[in-house]
């Protein structure tokens, strides 16, 4: 496996102002000093974590998706993050993964009921893995982090990406669960959160992390506003898996999607 460079963008988000957020994020991206393979944005990066689903929703292929596609071509990389997308007679919290040649998406499976997300958004059903530059990449959104069965590595991914609006009150959970997901799945993990506060008065501490498969912290953004780049070593990942092949003793299971 080749190495993979990943750029984490951790920033404040203007409440329900997609144009302002695209401009801000676009300036950060255009100012990057080094080339990168993937740029990871927070959950609902155009609006903040708003329950005004219909008011904020874009159509598939809408303004933000086109903007991501243009950036992907200009910077020769993949970009990913989630936005509200109207489809199937409702709205999904949809994580887009856009490359210069292709687009795939993942609809958030676990909706955060403590904020009423399960009443405003449709529940996704499919686990999604994107393939990019020799890496298999699991797409996950925020609250999904608390449900390890759904993200269990079936020897089908190398990197898990978590995009989030995770409040600072539970920052310890965010940090520890990201590390746990890396160790238990023998995969690299990148989690990107936002900073600042939103219109509901919730504060966000950031804590965007990049983690190696053995749980070692490769990048910790703390409360920094901006971008950070990390290089994930494909050789180190393969060597670790071969030297400590605990996946050979994993229990077989079948995922039951249950009820929404």
pLDDT at 254 over 90: no
Q: Which of 65, 77, 108, 188 is catalytic?
A: 108
DSSP string, 25-92: HHHHHHT-SS--SEEE--TTTTT-S-S-HHHHPBPTT-HHHHHHHHHHHHHTSEEEEEEEEEETTEEE
Rg (CA), the chain: 17
246 is catalytic: no
- What's the whole-number average pLDDT of the chain? 96
Domain borders along the chain are 4-247
Q: Which of 43, 65, 86, 117 is catalytic?
A: 43
Q: Which pLDDT band, with edges at 50, 70 and 90, does 19 fall under? A: very high
Q: Which fold has domain 4-247?
A: Nitrilase/N-carbamoyl-D-aminoacid amidohydrolase (3.60.110)
pLDDT digits (tens, 9 = 90+) for 65-103: 999 999 999 999 999 999 999 999 999 999 999 999 999
Label the pairing between strands 195-197 and 188-192.
Answer: unpaired
Q: Which of 11, 77, 142, 188 is catalytic?
A: 142
Give dist(CA 22, CA 58) in Å, integer: 14
160, 188 in Cβ contact below 8 A? yes
142 is catalytic: yes
Q: Which of 3-12, 99-108, 251-260 has the weakest average pLDDT?
A: 251-260
101: left (phi over 0), alpha (psi -120 to 50) or beta: alpha
Percentage of the chain surpassing pLDDT 70?
98
Q: Which pLDDT band, with edges at 50, 70 and 90, does 257 fall under? A: low
43 is catalytic: yes
Q: Does pTM top 0.95 for this prediction?
A: yes
């Amino acid at each position: 496996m080749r190495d993979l460079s990943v750029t984490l963008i951790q920033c404040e988000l203007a409440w329900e102002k997609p144009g302002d957020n695209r401009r801000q994020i676009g300036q950060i991206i255009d100012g990057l000093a080094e080339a990168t393979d993937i740029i990871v944005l927070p959950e609902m990066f155009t609006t903040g974590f708003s329950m005004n689903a219909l008011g904020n929703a874009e159509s598939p292929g809408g303004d933000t998706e086109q903007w991501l596609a243009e950036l992907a071509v200009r910077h020769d990389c993949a970009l990913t993050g989630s936005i509200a997308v109207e489809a199937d007679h409702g709205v999904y919290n949809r994580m887009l993964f856009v490359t210069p040649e292709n687009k795939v998406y993942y609809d958030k499976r676990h909706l955060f009921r403590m904020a009423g997300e399960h009443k405003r958004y449709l529940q996704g059903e499919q686990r999604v893995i994107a393939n990019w530059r020799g890496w298999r990449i699991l797409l996950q959104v925020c609250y999904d982090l608390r449900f390890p069965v759904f993200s269990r590595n079936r020897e089908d991914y190398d990197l898990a990406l978590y995009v989030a609006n995770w409040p600072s009150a539970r920052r310890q959970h965010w940090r520890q669960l990201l590390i746990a997901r890396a160790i238990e799945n023998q995969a690299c993990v990148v989690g990107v959160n936002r900073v600042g506060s939103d219109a509901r008065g919730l504060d966000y501490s950031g804590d965007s992390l990049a983690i190696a498969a053995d749980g070692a912290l490769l990048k910790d953004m703390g409360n920094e506003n901006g971008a950070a780049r990390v290089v994930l070593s494909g050789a180190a990942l393969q060597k670790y898996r071969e030297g400590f092949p605990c996946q050979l003793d994993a229990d077989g299971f079948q995922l039951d999607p249950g009820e929404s």
